[in-house]
Amino acid sequence: MALYHLTWDLGFLRLTPENAALSPVGRAAAHGIAASFLMLVGVSLVLARRRRSGWWRPYLARLGRIALAAAAISLATFFLFPGSWIFFGILHCIALSSVLALPALGAPLPLVALAAALVLAGPTLAALAGSPALLDAPGLYFLGLGTTVPTTNDYVPLFPWFGFVLAGVGLGRLGLPHLAASRAGDWAPRGRIGRVAAAAGRHSLAVYLVHQPLLLGLLYGVAAVTGPHPRAGEAPFLREYRANCAEAGGTEAACRVAARCVLVRLRDEGLWRAGGDYTGQEQARAIAVSRACFTQAGGG
């Protein structure tokens, strides 16, 4: 998780040529990390339930901490990023799932497996059935069954993600008794690295809440000293230019040549800035460069 956020932060602050966290591999890694988090939520519920008597008090305390943290994130992002604030992210999903998964702790395992499969397949089944417009209402975004994907910095709706919690419950109920009876169940960290990792695991919520502000703070300092990477923004600029060029009637080969020509010319004339922010005069010069490159490349 920390490595993924480090990758995202480097791209966000333009310290790398492109934001690798937004690539197909990066998105797959993000989904895998979120799925592992939620499966561990299910396993943790099984572990807590094995205490039998007195498990409700620590469960409610944990639930309260997660809910408060989720509310704090919503409040902070509402003021910092009003156009993409987090209204139902990973912590919101964990809090609600921790309540909804309680019946699965004692339900027959085949029923738990069936419920997990249905929740995981929920968005696909809803799309096949034709999601009613009601499910696109903002108040139901947390379900994840509509066709609208809201603009938010972290979106982990119940469908399909609650399915991973149920899967974790099932796996925990199946595997933990065997693990407890094995030699691996007696393992305890003895080295410094192992103890640090175990401590981080016991305080994972604190690690989750603290690590990103620390990373961003450090990298903002680096960016202030070094400035953006010289090639930051090139790849998305080239992709966007080629797409716009194709819409204007240019061939694939001509658009590829024109895109590279525009990038080189903008650099030569001191007009290249990832993200834009041109004055009116600079914008006119940039448009003239684009048209000249388009014509030279045989685009029109």
Confidence (pLDDT) at 286 = 84
Residues facing 88 on adjacent strands: 155
Cβ atoms within 10 A of the Cβ of 157, count? 22
pLDDT tens track, the chain, 300 positions:
899 999 999 998 989 988 899 889 999 999 999 999 999 999 999 988 876 677 888 899 999 999 999 999 999 999 988 999 999 999 999 999 999 999 999 999 999 999 999 999 999 999 888 877 888 899 999 999 998 899 998 999 999 999 999 999 999 999 887 776 677 667 778 888 888 888 888 888 899 889 988 999 999 999 999 988 888 888 888 888 888 888 888 888 888 998 899 888 888 888 776 555 667 787 888 888 888 888 888 765
Residues facing 142 on adjacent strands: none
Give the integer Cα–Cα distance in Å for 295 and 15: 33
Confidence (pLDDT) at 220 = 92
Give the integer Cα–Cα distance in Å for 17 and 8: 12
Where do the domains of the chain lie?
Answer: 2-226, 234-296
* Closest C-alpha among 232, 271, 237, 240 to residue 12: 232
Chain center to CA of 256: 31
Give the integer Cα–Cα distance in Å for 204 and 34: 14
H-assigned helices in 51-157: 56-80, 90-100, 109-120, 122-129
Contact present, 195 and 189 (Cβ < 8 Å): yes
Give the integer Cα–Cα distance in Å for 23 and 18: 9
Confidence (pLDDT) at 300 = 58
| 3-state percent breakdown (helix, strand, coil) of the chain, nearest 5 | 75, 0, 25
Give the integer Cα–Cα distance in Å for 154 and 5: 12
Backbone angles phi, psi at 88, to 5 degrees: -155, 80
Q: What is the pTM of this model?
A: 0.83
